[in-house]
Amino acid sequence: MLADLPPTAAVPVVLAYAGFAVVGCWLAAIDIARHRLPDRIVLPTAAGGTLLLTLGCLGGAPWTALVRAGVGMIGLFAFFLVLRLVSPGGMGGGDVKLAGTVGLFLGWAGWGALAVGMVSAFLLGGLLGLVLLAVRRAGRRTAIPFGPFLILGAWVGILFGDVLWGDLGAPAGSA
């Protein structure tokens, strides 16, 4: 999709994703070290991403991508908020806010990216949990920061979501 955009749209979109990549690495490191995802980093990332993606639309990107990004942002925020309300010890407030930010970038990339990104986050987090349990480095109540998995899953979705989603949705025997 990026190759199809005029430069006036591609530049702000590339800046948005580059910023998300840099800030994502920073947030993952903070969450691993402190089990925190600071609002002073997460919220401006969402606001800056929204602004840059909107500028991309003003520059010629399809407005449907921005609508999809908004749906992704609200949808993932709401889903993670429900998870937090159902099991307050299982999901932190920072994870809820980060999920909204991740939803913005996944939604812009496409529905396949959104689905694959979220499934990947839970699979990767669950896999690490199982490995830690198997090697007796963690117990059932051990807190594992989920932010790094949200971010890693987001990049799996952004980079491979449409390909994986397309393969999953293809009828048997089709190429």
Span 87-110, average pLDDT: 95
**Which domain does 85 fall in, by range?**
2-166
Instruction: For residue 37, tell me if it sits in a domain.
Output: yes
pLDDT tens, position by position, 7-46: 999 999 999 999 999 999 999 999 999 999 999 999 999 9
pLDDT tens, position by position, 44-57: 999 999 999 999 99
Backbone angles phi, psi at 93, to 5 degrees: -60, -35
| Amino acid 168: pLDDT | 59
Residues 6+ apart with CB under 8 A from 72: 103, 104, 105, 106, 107, 108, 114
pLDDT tens, position by position, 117-154: 999 999 999 899 888 888 887 777 777 899 999 999 99
- pTM of the entire structure? 0.91
Task: Count up the domains in the chain and report the number.
Answer: 1
Instruction: For residue 174, tell me if it sits in a domain.
Output: no
Residue 175: pLDDT band (50, 70, 90) is very low
Burial of 93 by CB count in 10 Å (0-12 exposed, 13-18 middle, 19+ buried)? middle
